[in-house]
Amino acid sequence: KEKFEGNTEHSTAAYTLVREDASTGLTYKLPLEASYARSLLIFFLCRSGYRSFIAANFITNIGYKNCYNISDGFEGNNQDKGWKQNNLPWQF
């Protein structure tokens, strides 16, 4: 794990929110709707870090070079605190 040392006060980041209908329990591989530069810096975040880990690995395996998973996710899991519980900046 690495400590986050970036500036989060003035974001210029674009993001895509990917969700599934929890009632179906299904997982889908969604096609990328836009062509992004393979050198683009990409961070993946989900609730616990598991789904974002899978997504980051998938994107890395198809040629994107600067992909990072936020390992403990936003909320964390049973063992580790996530982004929010570590009092890192966020807003709703």
Beta strands in the chain (DSSP E): 41-44, 66-69
What's the domain count of the chain?
1
The span from the CA of 30 to the CA of 4, in Å, is: 28
Instruction: Provide the residue range defining the domain that includes 68.
Output: 34-85
* pLDDT tens, residue by residue, 35-78: 678 888 888 988 898 889 988 998 888 888 899 999 899 998 88
Share of the chain above pLDDT 90, in %: 3
If pLDDT is split at 50, 70 and 90, which confidence band does 90 have? confident
**Would you say residue 39 lies in a domain?**
yes
- Is 72 domain-assigned? yes
pTM: predicted TM-score of the whole model, two decimal places: 0.63
Residue 15 within any structural domain of the chain:
no
